[in-house]
Amino acid sequence: MASTVRCSLATSGWSIADGDRAVLNGSVDAKPGKRYSAEVVVAYRRDDDTIDAAAYVEQIGEFETLAADQRVDLDSLWATSDVTIEGDPIAQQAVRFAILQLIWASASLAGYGVPARGLSGRTYEGHHFWDSDVFLLPFLAATHPEVARELIRYRSSMLPKARERAADLALDGALFPWRTITGDEASSFFEAGTAQFHIDADVIQGLRAYLEWNVDDETLWNLGVELAVETARMWASLGFWDKGSFHFHGVTGPDEYTVLVNDNAYTNQMARMNLRFAAEVVARMGSERPAEWESLARALNIIDGEIQAWTRIAGAIVVLRDDELGVTAQDATFLSLEPWDWSTPRHKYPLLLHYHPLVLYRRRMLKQADVVMGHFLLPEDTPLAQRRADFDYYDPITTGDSSLSPAIQSAVAAQVGRNEAAWRHFQHAATLDLMNLAKSTPSGIHLAGAAGVWLAVTRGFVGLKVDESGVTTDPNLPEGWTSVTLNLKLRGEPVRVRVERE
């Protein structure tokens, strides 16, 4: 990253910093009673960009010209991205702030992913995780599909290294890295990193979100089918059969305070989706593009019975349930762990900064939504009454130590009719960076949290769903919100969805 800066105010000297910092040093001989103004322009250039940043800055027009150009660009962006909340100006500001952060972070993606903090800070050193697939991609799919498509293309470009990663772990197919920039695994803590095998299904969930909003067979055939096949192969080789059921042992779900467990509910649910999706798209490609499928099947060395095996495995994957408590078990042992001491003072949170991991792993509490996260992404898999019971059980024992969690908890609470919790979690998610609740906003915007705010409004309070027939809503608006209007893009066309309290 290179940067340069220009200042209109006459100074005695100024300098251009290197790297990602632009620093201007100078002074002016100020006169008493005289007013001075400075117009500062900063330009950043990626290392592979052919534009010369210094020359570019010198060519940029005055502020009024820049502001007018930006207004044109922003009007175009808001036309397919805006969320209008009537009756709550504070929520309105928070949601638009979140949307603008998402747009800025994903403005130029060709060949790149979206770091966890975007371009707003150095935290995570530019690495990205499942955030872009599960949180950011649904927003882009429904507002800026051309950008969402670039994220899918970026994941597809990682397949060669993902195959190498799978082979390193004695697995078939491809295993995407938990933390990466170039496709190599950059997570040094495997228990809460590489062991989150659900990353493969998260990639497929992002693809599914894109296809829900967009008719794009070319992306599906050219990129999606290979992604689906190679991730399905990973799941088929990761698990094993026992007494007629299929299990995944030694995995970590979204809850990073509970690691290396057996039959994590989120992982199993997402693996089942991944396997079924792969079988479905392969069957469809074989029917609609038989010649192309035959060529791809040869290239991927598909063997007899392999695809049928995915369907059998999906049907046998276990999602455990505790009949006594009436809840979905987060994993095979979670419900038997020693409860966390909830009298622990607030200054000891986030817990990972004050306790050894081995202390946390032995306790029954969560860093972030896990079972509830599965219900958010795949609500059709679980009856409403079960989702409500699971929310009621897991919400009180979720610490909120992850910025990813409150928006998802809000959305599911709204879906299952827990309105007080929905509003409480939404307020936390919406003000996390605006009010610096985690004391880390100067280190960068929590992009997954920003995307979560949009998801909480659209999927939670508005109850937005999209399928082959179009868009439906099931609104459950907070007190004080008289209406919500969404600007979206469906099948390439702008769509406006408005719901009111009644």
Q: What phi and psi values does residue 199 have, to the nearest 5 degrees?
A: -55, -35
Task: Please tell me which residue in 150, 185, 230, 256 is annotated as part of the active site.
Answer: 256
Residue burial 241-258, b: 16+ Cβ < 10 Å; e: rest: eeeeebbbeebbbbbbbb
- Is residue 256 part of the annotated active site? The answer reads yes
Bond preceding residue 357 cis, omega within 30 of 0: no
Q: What phi and psi values does residue 39 have, to the nearest 5 degrees?
A: -110, 115
Rounded CA-CA distance 409/383 in Å is: 17
Q: What phi and psi values does residue 445 have, to the nearest 5 degrees?
A: -75, 140
Q: How many Cα neighbours within 13 Å face the side chain of 14?
A: 16
Tokens describing residue 85:
């909340």
Q: By the 8 A CB rule, do 241 and 316 touch?
A: yes
Q: By the 8 A CB rule, do 116 and 451 touch?
A: no
CB atoms within 10 A of CB 344: 14
Rounded CA-CA distance 219/151 in Å is: 11
**CA angle in degrees (0–180, nearest 5) for 125-130-131:** 75
Bond preceding residue 406 cis, omega within 30 of 0: no
Residue burial 129-142, b: 16+ Cβ < 10 Å; e: rest: bbbbbbbbbbbbbb
Residues taking part in catalysis: 256
